[in-house]
A and B are shown apart, each in its own frame.
Chain A
């Protein structure tokens, strides 16, 4: 039981390049989330999903897109990376509304030059 995994762990992009971050969970959770963490700040929600085929915007959605084609996977895409998107990205999942606990992945450190 791996929990929540994220791929890749590290990535360096040039401005304007695109990439996709993959989050996978094996806990059969309905809800999945993407957060970003910047220095001196807590985590901020980018997008989330309440089930397969559904997505919704969080607090800081601009510049990102997401897809949830399979229940266990939640993809975060950057179409045209900007230096302001340099951050650590965390994926999380939880089992039901009235969430008791969100389980987090190990994070992806992204640098955009």
Chain B
């Protein structure tokens, strides 16, 4: 069965520092996608970054990068130069092909707090 594990319930980081949020996954499918979403206190889900299982290079989007280690089944999110506005819940998710559509399976999330 597919599963996403986020072992850090909460993380603290000082402004302008980098932080890594951990995510491990379990799947037997050779083709899958890995996603990170941000959920600020206002509640909406904001897409941050995507990594395909066949992508050779780690995905990057501005200050976000995804450290994809396929053999370890990990997909950690790295936020560089943290900002106060990065304080939020962060969810790792995996696309699981079921039937004829991909469904997202989410981890339980990590609450990141950025302090001055």
Q: Which residues of A contact B (CB under 8 A)?
A: 31, 33, 40-45, 48, 50, 56, 58, 88, 90, 92, 94, 97-104, 106-107, 109
Contact = CB atoms under 8 A, between A and B. Distances in A.
A97 B101 contact: yes
Contacts, number: 66
A99 B100 contact: no
A58 B106 CA distance: 13
Interface stretch (B14-22, B42-50, B70-78, B80-88): B42-50
Interface of B: 4, 31, 33, 35, 37, 43-47, 50, 91, 93, 95, 97, 99-109
Contacts of B31: 98
A51 B93 CA distance: 23
Given A100-B50, A106-B44, A41 B108 contact: yes
Given A90-B45, A102-B47, A106-B43, 9 more contacts: A41-B109, A42-B93, A42-B108, A42-B109, A50-B99, A97-B101, A99-B33, A99-B101, A99-B102
B4 to A, nearest CB: 7
A109 B44 CA distance: 12
Contact of A42 (B33, B97, B103, B106): B106
Contact of B107 (A42, A97, A103): A42
A43 B43 contact: no
A106 B43 CA distance: 7
A48 B43 contact: no
Nearest to B104: A102
A86 B43 CA distance: 16
A98 to B, nearest CB: 6
Contacts of B91: 42-43
A72 to B, nearest CB: 17
A106 to B, nearest CB: 5
20 contacts: A33-B104, A41-B109, A42-B93, A43-B45, A43-B104, A43-B106, A44-B106, A45-B105, A48-B101, A48-B103, A50-B100, A50-B101, A56-B99, A98-B33, A101-B35, A104-B37, A104-B46, A106-B44, A107-B45, A109-B43
